[in-house]
Amino acid sequence: MFTRENIERGVNQSLQRMKTDHLDLVQVHISPSRKELEENGTIETLKGLQREGKVRFLGMSGTIPNLADHIAMGAGTRGLDDRRRTGGGRHHHPGRCGPRGEAASQQGDRWQRWEQAGLDGLLEPEETRTEFLLRFTLSHPSMHTTIVGTMNPEHLQQNLRAYRRGPLSPEVYGEAKRRLG
């Protein structure tokens, strides 16, 4: 899927269809593992196309558990998928399905680490966990883009509320990182 041949063919087809000499953005989706990216030379291929001038910006729609590797590889973009949210309460859980629809038993409790780190104590009044995560992502110095999926107007309003609050303070961001270790 993320092979050199597929990437180059896709970029060249897009250039031809769009009748242009460059693409503003090429983004990898589905949050592939570091192993898959390295075995296929995905990042090197994309950077090569960028050096050739065929692509201006590169992106990665990364999710846990591969997000940390994407950031380390210099390809981090965080996707918070609100389609899996189930409620709007302060301590709601955005669901128990993973990015490919796997059940909780396959991915473990996605909030277990949150609870072990005691992050509820860092929430502002009326702030949900998902809003905090969005703000945490906006605070990360290596993240340049955050992709947020929404399924209904209520989720959109929650996302906008989090965005308006802005990034976390350096103190809260640092404490969250310390607790997550």
Is 48 in the same domain as 127? Answer: no
For residue 59, what pLDDT is reported?
Answer: 83
Predicted pLDDT at 79: 62
What does the H/E/C string look like for the chain? CCCHHHHHHHHHHHHHHHCCCCEEEEEECCCCCHHHHHHHCHHHHHHHHHHCCCEEEEEECECCCCHHHHHHCCCCCEEEEHHHCCCCCCCCCCCCCCCCCCCHHHHCCCCHHHHHHCHHHHCCCCCCHHHHHHHHHHHCCCCCCEEEECCCHHHHHHHHHHHHHCCCCHHHHHHHHHHHC
Domain boundary among 30, 58, 76: 76
Same domain, 92 and 179: yes
Q: Spell out the per-residue pLDDT of the chain, length 181, in tens.
A: 899 999 999 999 999 999 999 999 998 888 888 899 999 999 999 999 999 999 998 888 777 677 777 777 765 444 644 333 333 334 433 433 333 333 333 344 667 888 889 999 999 999 999 899 899 989 988 777 777 877 889 888 988 999 999 999 999 999 998 998 8
Tally of domains in the chain: 2
Report the pLDDT value the prediction gives residue 94, as an integer from 0 to 100.
40
Say what the pLDDT of residue 98 is. Answer: 35
In one-letter notation, the amino acid at residue 143 is M
Instruction: Provide the residue range defining the domain that includes 41.
Output: 1-76
Residues 102 and 166 in one domain: yes
Domain end marker among 54, 76, 98: 76
Would you state the pLDDT for residue 32? 86
Residues 137, 170, single domain; the answer is yes
Q: What is the pLDDT of residue 74?
A: 67
Q: What is the pTM assigned to this prediction?
A: 0.54
111 and 145 together in one domain: yes
